[in-house]
Amino acid sequence: MQGFTPFRLSPYFRTRVWGFNDLSPWYDFKTDGEPIGEVWLTGEMCVAETGPLKGQSLKEITAVHGEALLGQGRAGQEFPLLIKVLFPKEKLSVQVHPDDTLAQKYGEPRGKTECWYALDAQPGAEVALGIKPGTPIEQVRAAIAESRLEELLACVPVNKGDMIFVDAGTVHAIGPGAVLLETQQTSDLTYRMYDYGRPRELHLDKSFEAMRLTTGSGKMTPKKMNGHSVLLDQKYFRVEQWKGTLPSVENAFADGVQLLFVADGRLKIEGAGFEAFSLNRCQLAVIPAGARDWKITPEAGAEVIRILPQSA
């Protein structure tokens, strides 16, 4: 258990054709090369920036210390969730992700269910969640062939503070104008159904096999709890919003790893056996299952998103 104190992870900047060359004011990151569309916060290549495990990647930490990190009986497992911040400058392709059963049919360990929390949104920002009700599959196929699938997408406006659930099997797309905190199963399985005529590969057979016309996707209504809001409580993850009173070892009921993301403000994490460290906006800390005697102190009106993996 030695070394299993809270630690901050470094972000990893991923190039995407639909991203930005300048991520300010969210991150102090500019590039003259390919634009950055995603900032991975719990990618396997993300490195511990603080504590006794400083310099080790999340993949290395999980492989060697899986049970102390993730919880009892979870040794040998992958880190369960991939957390990202998305910066779409252009509309993303129309996609669908498989569920666990379909992914395993093709030899993959799991599917991909995800959610988006809107850190910011400009007027007119929207996402597509599903096909318009009553649309037959044959019409969807014809619309793709005729480059007009956008006509059939059910679009949802996005406002700052919205939580949007994207169940596996949902045809979906992200438009420009929002900054989204994405929580997803650790999986990179994406079937591209439509790309507005851009010359990228489509995966039509698997897309139609994966898609479901009725899913649990949509905007979620927060549930007020003692001192915080539960934004989403689903099969693979629970996402909470904390303001003022913040989670600590005394009030956290988690029996596994906890992830703390600062949506606004700043906080300090301190405790026995490790040097105190700060967490600024858009930074993420890992609270291992084996961590004890830690506490956090909010600064500058901190808003914290706490993410808890849940057993499927």
Annotated binding site for Zn(2+): 97, 114, 172
> Which residues, 6 or more positions from 251, have their beta carbon under 8 angstroms from its beta carbon?
227
Beta strands 258-271 and 284-287 are antiparallel
Q: Which of 272, 268, 274 is nearest to 302 (CA)?
A: 268
Contact 115, 102 (CB under 8 A): no
What DSSP character marks residue 159? -
Using CA atoms, how far apart are residues 260 and 225, in angstroms rounded to an integer?
A: 18
Of 281, 87, 85, nearest to 177 by C-alpha is 87
Tell me the one-letter amino acid at 197: G
**58 with 44: CB under 8 angstroms?**
yes
A 10 A CB-CB count for 95 gives 23
Separation in Å, CA 163 to CA 57, 222, 258: 29, 8, 19
299 close to 265: Cβ distance less than 8 angstroms? yes
The residues carrying an active-site annotation are: 192
Count of Cβ atoms closer than 10 Å to residue 225 Cβ = 11
